[in-house]
């Protein structure tokens, strides 16, 4: 299964992308790490949950905090990223066109 997302300016600047609720089951629970492979390197990325009241009722948004991988991928607003879950539970990270 693949999660594909076009980054907005805030996501690109913070190196943290929104995980759509329909894709939560693909990623580890908040507070856990996802292993991301990009090229020959492996990075840990934290799954984070933020409480939100953007629309009632109160709920959470999940994010994937990429850490140093964000700079390595040179993420910018409009970048399209893909994360494909592998059989071992890790993810293959790539920039899509």
- DSSP character for 23? G
| Distance set, CA 14 to CA 10, 58, 73, 85, 88 (Å) | 6, 24, 13, 23, 28
pLDDT of residue 49: 96
pLDDT of residue 80: 97
Binned at pLDDT 50, 70 and 90, residue 83 comes out as: very high
Residues ≥6 apart with Cβ < 8 Å to 52: 58, 59, 60, 61
Domain ranges of the chain: 2-96
Q: What is the dihedral of CA 38, 41, 47, 50, to 10 degrees?
A: -80
**What is the rounded average pLDDT of the residues 65-77?**
94
Q: What residues does 6 pair with on adjacent strands? A: 80
Query: Could you report the per-residue pLDDT of 2-59, keeping only the tens digit for each?
Result: 999 999 999 999 999 999 999 999 999 999 999 999 999 999 999 999 999 989 999 9
Assigned CATH for 2-96? 2.40.330.10
pLDDT of residue 87: 96
């Amino acid at each position: 299964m693949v999660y594909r997302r076009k980054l907005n300016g805030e996501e690109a600047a913070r190196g943290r992308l929104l995980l759509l609720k329909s894709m939560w089951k693909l990623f580890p629970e908040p507070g856990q790490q996802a292993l991301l492979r990009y090229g020959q390197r492996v990075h840990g990325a934290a799954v984070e949950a933020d409480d939100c009241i953007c629309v009632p009722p109160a709920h959470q948004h999940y994010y994937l905090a990429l850490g140093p991988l964000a700079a390595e991928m040179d993420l910018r607003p409009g970048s399209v990223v893909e994360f494909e879950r592998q059989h071992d539970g890790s993810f293959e990270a790539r920039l899509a066109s």
